[in-house]
Structure 1
Amino acid sequence: MMESREYAIVDIETTGHSQANGDRMIQIAIVLMKDWCITKTFTSFIQPGKPIPLFIQDLTNITDADVQDALPFEDYAETIYELLQDAIFVAHNTDFDLSFLQGEFKRVGMPVWKGKKIDTVELAKILFPSALSYKLGDLAAELNIPLDNAHRADDDALACALLLKRCWEELLKLPLETLEIMHKKSFRLKTNIAHLLFDALQIKRNSVSNDQSVVYYNKLALKKSHASKRTVQDQIAYPVASSDKIAMFKKAIPGFEERPKQFEMMDTIWEHLNQKTEVLIEASTGIGKTIGYLTPSIIYAKQKNRKVCISTYTTHLLEQLLLNEIPKVEEMIGRPIKVALLKGKKNYIDVVLFEQILKNQELSYDETLIVLQVLVWLSKTETGDLSELNSSGGGQLFIDKIRKNGEYTGENHPFDFYDKAIRESEEADLIITNHSMLLADLARHEPIFEKIDGLIIDEAHQFIQAAVQQNQAVFTFTNWKYIFGRIGMASDEELFATFQKIALKKHRVPLSYFHQLEKIFNQLTGLFDQTMQMIVQQMKQISAQSKANSKRTVFLQEIALNHDLIVDFSKAMQNWIDLAEQMSSQFKKDIEQIAPQHLLIVEQWDYWIRQFKVKVNEWDEIFLNVREDYTTWVEIDVRNVPGSIRILKKPIRIKTAIEQLLQPFREQAAVIWTSGTLSVPNNERFVANQLGIPAQVPMEMLQAPKEYYQGAKAFIVNDMPDIQGVSQTDYVESVALAITQVVRATKGRCFVLFTSQEMLRKTVELIQESELLFDYMLFAQGITNGSRMRLLKSFQKFSQSVLFGTNSFWEGVDVPGEGLSTVVVVRLPFSAPEEPTFKAKSALLQQQGINAFTELSLPEAILRFKQGFGRLIRSSQDKGVFVVLDRRIETKSYGVEFLRALPQISVHKLPLQDMVLEIEHWYNSKEEERKQVDENEK
């Protein structure tokens, strides 16, 4: 039994990572644990026989003075070896600690230690699948495990021991069925976690417990949900007078300062909700836009017993509304608000599909790890929203396989999280959703949005991008091959063979049908491969000149496709679907009761038929449905063909699509568009026109008073090299130098915004290699694991941190107060001229005699630039510097347009070194001010 096992929890500190290069241990700690109690601890400094590097001293707080009287490793080796004997070796990253220790044993002539090991990184990933980070310090903070001195072996080993115990306690809370599946799947893990699962299983099997908190889909345990009804209470009056608004706000917001423009926004929204009319509101940062639209919406919904829907662009904004803003309004009005969060179905797990994939015994290591994470998470999640999972690498690919795809059925499945979210929305005062979900449901005419009196579209400028994504088609070679592979043929051990076996055994479907279906399957896979080969050959010929880059992009109309081949494939797909459906009905005909295991196979068969239907529509849309307002292009990487083939079809204009979608809505409800950026200098209705909003719809522009931005300064570095005049390497070096100097001057808390992922990567790599910011936490989009929101949360947790981001970090992320003190703009955010959609839009404008630069490229870049500045000042107390490294803002005639788009703040044009001195002076004076405030408060 588990209780008799002994664990040796080990942590070591070293002079570096490479024993081969002479790195040595400087401290070791071992905590022995039996029956989940600490029985013994051993800790000692160790003489490395060489100076400790400065960055290691900074990291560990272990100096040369600490180890000067310590003995070398050989003097402790036998004691350490003895402590590890007969114990299970545990460390937070066994790959490092155990390997280093084994190397040291070998170096001093001792035998290699043999035994079982458990890695608490691997274990914590499984048992805390939604943790923000799996670093020991972060886990300790999240789980309230004491860890005063991180990177000291004694404190780390103790924290690791307590983490192991917490993991064990967490295991015992899991449903028995979950543990059974986990145990079966756990043998692919890197460390001996299977033993721990086995021990937990023994205990669970011997304890009688009827777990009421879970429901089951087959053997999968899911957390039971409790639906709550909408409460109808006494009426709430809308606060018409300013004094009433102030009184209401003061209930929830201590030290509330009146913002007249916020009150103006509230009144405008209240009026349009009641009149069921349409309006555009540009509300700059500092207005209090979110509370400005939430308050009238909620009062209206409560008064009329109707629903209001709020749509935003990013998941982060959804979270902010739910966690921060709605609780404030609840306090203000003194009543609970019934809120339903609706996201697009692909955000939710498809439990049926996940359960099917579980039956596949062959999982890679990454897949095994994520499967175990998902099993634990399903027993805890209320929402089934996959963004709750912290997965990385191969795990992310697996998550994409288990996303919900099928249509909304309306059937009441307790394990269908998308259905559950839909049902909850029927009882809500407020539905919160994102643009893509809203667009999808309006397009499908879902009944969800029929009972809505008001639609508030926040981040309205992003509705354009969402509409493009909603109407696009994406073809990937790997996805098609994956689907073919899931069906397989009679000789494979896939679904076709399994279905054939039971159908013939039960005499339900004639063998001739299977022969016929297999023949069609062979035909269609052959036609598919021919088409792909044709695309690859043509692309290589067309783009043969671009040898420098392995990635090629070609518009589909430039490729001479064999139309008959395309049509033949489409017909073969349809023939397969028709026959497969016939076989399914044949199997199910006249059967009173199908055995559960057979029913499961038929369900899987029907599921993949539905997937084939989706695929044939995708094929026809991309290859056969030619539309003027769309552009289609093919991307390949010549190092991996045909595996890398992607084909994208995107709309160039979405005005008509949006008009059609919103028309029925406009007839019955208020439509309110709002954003911090709806206009650009010289073109107030730039966004409105792209959205197809009629000219008679009024637009209100609400700007925070000048004093709101008094803590902001803008700097333009005027001695940066011209990117056209130097090599890319030299340019990246200049950018890296400027960034490191700005970061050091402001002590971190810095966003660095790029327009190119490649330049971001090269800059970050150079900064890491130079170690100029070794004492800062660097988070980089596309390099650091995790979603955009996870990066942001990690960035906010550390005082000395820098976040490097591309397009999606220019907007929609909110870091209030001291959390962010600097925004560095590396390049003005123009769209890349070679980006296919932009290229197609530009060509269309030029055909109409319109200047694509002034009417499209420039306004889009200015909007992004405004958004980038908007990250910096989120309250009137905020102080921050906005640094532009792109010289074009000063040397090109259009530069002035970018500066005009900023609020009225001081703009300084200086060489880099002068700017750094100015920023240091500003930062130091800010520190003094803060200290003064602290003193006064004392």
Structure 2
Amino acid sequence: MTLNEEMNIEHFFGPHGKLAARLPHFEFRREQVAMAKRIERTLATEGHLLVEAGTGTGKTLAYLVPLADWVLDGDRRAIVSTFTKALQSQLIDKDLPQLVDRLDIPIRYALCLGAANYLCTRRFRQFLHRGSKAIPASSDLISAIVEWEARTRRGLRSELALAEENRIWNEISRSPDACLGYRCPEAHNCYYRHARQEQEDAHILVVNHHLFFANLASGGNVLPPFNAVVFDEAHNLEDVASDHFGYHLSNRQIEHLLNSVHNPRTRSGIVGLPDLFEPEAVRQIRARVREARAASHRFFGEILMTWGEGPSAVRIRETGALGGGLQEPLTKLASALTEASLSIEDEMERIEVEGLAARANAAAVSIASFLELHLEGHVHWISIGEGRDDQEVALHAAPVEVASHLRREVFEPIHPVAMTSATLTVDSRFDYLRYRLGFDDADELLLPSPFDTENNVLLYLPPCAPDPRREPNAFVDSVALETKLLLDASRGRAFVLFTSYEMMRRVSGLVNSLGSKHTLLQQGELPREQLLDRFRQDLHSTLFGVHSFWQGVDVPGEALQCVIIVKLPFDVPTDPVTEARMEALADAGFDPFSSYLLPGAIMMLRQGVGRLIRTMEDRGVIAILDPRVKTMSYGRYFLNSLPPCPVTESRDDIDRFFMQIPIAD
């Protein structure tokens, strides 16, 4: 029975409706009702919609319930796209099961992940047959994978505790270039194929933004056809779209490709397989690999010689800035592999060799395009990573603006589309996001948070502090002292959010030297989720983080009662993409600061501040240590964007505030 046949939105979400009767701890929220009704209307009219729903609105159910009704009513399929894994997990493990199990809405749903997340049974069997000499000291890990493979139902990488870059997984995961499809002898055991069948049978697909755009780039070959999209965490859409409408190629990718063909150090690679190639073909391929590897070392080595050690990003504005010499050896390697594949009788082996040839060709094309700056309207740059050994050097290209791409490939062909987040507006207006994304014809809805921040939040602004631009060292010292005193008052239980790793490390060291009484956790010490687990478990800990901890992190309750913002989160003006966007705005007659840098920083500040209050019972302090929020004329825009709450410059007020919060030791 669909929602429209049973009751209307008002009754379904009302104080005595089905949600109240079936869901434990349900709280009636007028904002949730308003959002659900607008989503329902957008779906019915196949329109476009922007919804800013403050934290605590209950936005996921507000779009899931009408979306479920809409797909069931017309035998349709819809996508819910998120930015973070945390929200994906919430949707798959909590929200969607509630619709089925507690609300009796008979929808089918599936989590969609990229192909490389799945074990390829055929490649795994081949890997075991060929032996593991390519990866020294890996026998324990291989034994663990064999044991896991015998019991896994889904074959997902996330079920294994693997480092982000794992050479074994690269050898045994699904690769589209090496996939035989239905002709594969392991097709009946294919985890990806089984997942794809679940997706074909589902009404609602949960994906992340990266996979959504990967599907666009593939011409729709990654996901099943769909009729509607809800973008949650839509404030991140511009950056993700920019990544996918450009390209990235690094020395590590080239090295991995060459090692997959032939690694002379470990005597591994596909040319080492017995009886696969004729002896002359083996000799030719090995020679081509040597030439390509030498050319790669020269090409990327010259970049390091020219632009020095990292980390850094260097914008390339003119052709001729880089020497060539790499694309031709890669093209010759691709030709040698293609020619050798013609004599391979085994279809599985032939497909794998053809896949390696295709990758070599694609790399050569990307390098040639970069050297000639072929992509109009794109910014081109080189990134140089940290360290001295195995330093990553990469070529990048990305569109300066994504609005035209999104109009053409998303908003014009797809109806309906809804975008939502807790932070989509600047000064209560959607103008900035509309312009950046090209979402011109969308209706809009702005809903405040139902949380009582006026009574539960205190904003602290230090009475005086050095300017971070004019006195950077004095500012760091000031931040360390303020942070230490705030942590003493809050007894830990804090996030300290930075805009750079360098400053995070400096402040963390200084706070430690000042004799911090609490556990200090620092981003980079552990994987993100493990770090968060430790923070939640140790109620007197503090987490120092950058970028990824400003958003998509949910720590309700007494574990988090203070969020310290060290600097206003402006994009770095010299970053190649930021610089190119600012130049384009200036050429179009806009002020780059007020039309781009300032709104972007306001939205990020709102994300960071939003980590603090996650439930009706939460209380805490927001501290902004950057004096520019008071001393610069634009500071009022930041302050006006924050939730309504009292403001203080007194540490005594901070002490009194925390003394009123009962905390278990």
TM-score normalised to structure 2 length: 0.89
Residue in 2 aligned with 1:502? 275
Tell me which of 192, 196, 202 is aligned to 1:418. 192
User: What corresponds to 1:926 in structure 2?
Assistant: 661
The one-letter code matched in structure 2 to 1:494 is S
The question of whether the paired residues in 1 share the 8 Å contact of 2:214 and 2:222 is answered with: no
The answer to whether the 8 A contact 1:278-1:671 is kept is yes
Whole-angstrom CA distance in 1 between matches of 2:12 and 2:286: 74
Q: Which residue in the other structure is 2:521 paired with?
A: 779
Tell me which residue corresponds to 2:503.
Answer: 759
Aligned equivalents of 2:101 and 2:266: distance in 1? Answer: 61
Cα gap change, 1:475 to 1:883, in 2 (>3 Å): same
Shift of 1:866: 0.9
Match of 1:539 among 299, 303, 307: 307
Structure 2 equivalent of residue 27 of structure 1 = none
Show CA shifts across 1:591-625 (max 9, x none). xxx6xxxx776565344334324433433443345
After superposition, the C-alpha distances for 1:537-585 in whole angstroms (9 at most, x for unaligned) are 4435xxxxxxxx754432233573577x44xx43443343233223222
SS of 2:374's equivalent in the other structure is: coil
Q: How far apart, CA to CA, are the structure 1 residues paired with 2:521 and 2:470?
A: 30
- Pick one of 797, 805, 808 that aligns with 2:548: 808
Aligned to 1:587: 344
Contact 2:134 2:267 in 1 (8 A): no
User: In structure 1, how many angstroms separate the alpha carbons of the residues matched to 2:590 and 2:23?
Assistant: 50
Q: What's the counterpart of residue 99 of structure 2?
A: 329
Superposed CA offset, 1:844-897 (max 9, x none): 222333211111110000000111121112222221211111111011111100
Q: Is the 8 A contact 1:307 1:454 kept in 2?
A: yes
CA offset at residue 756 of structure 1?
A: 0.6
Q: Distance in 1 between matches of 2:602 and 2:205?
A: 32
| Change over 3 Å in CA distance of 1:798–1:530 after alignment to 2 | closer
CA displacement, residues 515-556 of structure 1 (integer Å, 9 cap, x when unaligned): 44445444444443443344344435xxxxxxxx75443223
Q: Could you give the per-residue CA deviations for residues 109-161 of structure 1, whole angstroms, max 9, x where no partner exists? A: xxxxxxxxxxxxxxxxxxxxxxxxxxxxxxxxxxxxxxxxxxxxxxxxxxxxx
Name the CA distance, whole Å, in 2 between partners of 1:580 and 1:707.
Answer: 65
2:405 counterpart residue number: 657
SS in 2 for 1:456: strand
Aligned to 2:574: 834
Residue 218 of structure 2 corresponds to residue 444 of structure 1: yes
> SS in structure 2 opposite 1:431?
strand
Instruction: Out of 246-255 and 806-815, give the one that drifted further.
Output: 246-255
Could you tell me whether the CA contact under 8 Å between 1:238 and 1:299 is conserved in 2? no
Q: 1:503–1:635: structure 2 CA closer, same or farther, 3 Å change rule?
A: closer
Residue number in structure 2 paired with 1:731: 475
1:708·1:876 contact (CA, 8 Å) conserved in 2? Answer: no
Match of residue 148 from structure 2? 377
The answer for unaligned runs of 5 or more in structure 1 is: 1-232, 541-548, 589-593, 932-938
Question: Which residue in the other structure is 1:363 paired with?
Answer: 135
Q: Structure 1 CA distance, aligned partners of 2:451 and 2:259?
A: 62
1:247-396 alignment runs, 5 A limit: 247-350=17-120, 352-353=122-123, 359-365=131-137, 367-368=138-139, 370-392=141-163
How is 1:683-702 mapped onto 2 (pairs within 5 angstroms)?
A: 683-694=429-440, 696-702=441-447
Corresponding residue for 2:597?
A: 857
Whose RCO is larger (CA < 8 A, sep 6+)?
A: 2
Equivalent runs, 1:21-420 vs 2, <5 Å:
237=5, 239-240=7-8, 242-246=10-14, 247-350=17-120, 352-353=122-123, 359-365=131-137, 367-368=138-139, 370-392=141-163, 399=169, 404-406=174-176, 411=182, 413-420=187-194
How many matched pairs?
Answer: 657
Q: 1:100 aligns to what?
A: none
- What do residues 152-205 of structure 1 show as CA deviations (whole Å, max 9, x unaligned)? xxxxxxxxxxxxxxxxxxxxxxxxxxxxxxxxxxxxxxxxxxxxxxxxxxxxxx
- For 1:741, the equivalent position in structure 2 comes to 485
Write the distance in 2 (CA, Å) between the matches of 1:734 and 1:254.
46
Distance 1:664 1:350 in 2: 37
Q: Please state if 1:577 is matched with 2:334.
A: yes
CA distance in 1, matches of 2:445, 2:35: 9
- Asked if the contact 1:872–1:880 (Cα under 8 Å) also holds between the matched residues in 2, the reply is yes
Q: Letter of the aligned partner of 1:675 in structure 2?
A: S
Q: For residue 749 of structure 1, what is the amino acid of its counterpart?
A: R
Q: How far 1:839 sits from its partner (Å)?
A: 1.7
Residue 794 of structure 1: CA displacement?
2.8
The CA distance in 1 between the partners of 2:367 and 2:189, in whole Å, is: 31
With over 3 angstroms needed to count, the CA separation of the structure-2 counterparts of 1:625 and 1:335, relative to structure 1, is same
Supply the AA of the counterpart residue of 2:435.
N
Give the Cα–Cα distance (whole angstroms) in 2 for the partners of residues 687 and 443 of structure 1: 23
Counterpart of 2:629, as a letter, is I
Q: Is the CA contact 1:426–1:448 (under 8 Å) kept in the aligned structure 2?
A: no
Residue identity matched to 2:343: Q
**Contact 1:535 / 1:561 at 8 angstroms: preserved in 2?**
no
1:798 equivalent to 2:538? Answer yes
Quote the residue 2:448 is aligned against: 703
Equivalent position SS for 2:5: coil
Please say if 1:487 is aligned against 2:261: yes
Q: Which residue of 1 aligns with 2:416?
A: 670
Match of 1:608 in 2: 356
Structure 2 residue runs of 5 or longer lacking an equivalent are none
CA distance in 2, matches of 1:448, 1:317: 21
Quote the residue 1:25 is aligned against: none
Q: Which moved more, 1:603-612 or 1:843-852?
A: 603-612
Identity of aligned residues (%): 24
- Give the distance between the partners of 1:605 and 1:693, measured in 2 at CA: 43
For normalisation by structure 1, the TM-score amounts to 0.65
1:631 paired with 2:631, answer no
1:649-678 per-residue CA deviation (whole Å, 9 max, x = no partner) reads: 222211122122215642xx3111111111
CA contact (8 A) 1:678 1:688 kept: no
